[in-house]
Amino acid sequence: MINVSKIKKGIVLDHIEAGKAHILYRALKLDEVTDTVVIMQNISSTSMGKKDLIKIETDYDLDFTVLGLIAPYTTVNFIEEGERVKKIRMEMPEVVEGVLHCKNPRCITNSEREIPSHKFYLYDKDKKEYRCEYCDNLTTYGE
């Protein structure tokens, strides 16, 4: 197996479903990060069979809110001085911006006149339903 060294300081996103790291990379806008980023794909895992992993060596606090929507089982590990100091999982966010698209074809957000970033509000946690701020239509992530 390829050996990727441990990081000194930063964030490790662990237990990503195999093959999905690139989706998280895009959603988290990691292409805009100037720090070192390592994406590992199809690593063998005892609990998952295979998994993906992303390591970001950074001093900055990144916003992982969107993970609660697109990959709620991802573990976010915070590393300081080579040691993991915190491990969290994101909750489903109350407000989502710039990820969902309204399912209502007549919604203003789907018109030619583009609305740059509009909000969706969590409506039903179990069904993963979000309400469009413009037309109140419900949209489920992944459908």
Q: What pairs with residue 14 in β-bridges?
A: 75
CB-nearer residue toward ligand CTP: 55 or 118: 55
> What is d(CA 75, CA 97) in angstroms, rounded to the nearest whole number?
22
CB-nearer residue toward ligand CTP: 64 or 120: 64
* Residue of 16, 28, 77, 118 interacting with ligand CTP (CB under 6 A): 77
Asked whether 52 and 18 are in contact (CB, 8 A), the reply is yes
From residue 76, give the alpha-carbon distance in Å to each of 13, 40, 65, 100: 5, 15, 11, 22
Binding of residue 21 to ligand CTP (CB under 6 A): no
Number of residues that bind ligand CTP (CB under 6 A): 12
Partner whose binding site includes residue 102, from Zn ion, ligand CTP, none (CB under 5 to 8 Å by kind): Zn ion
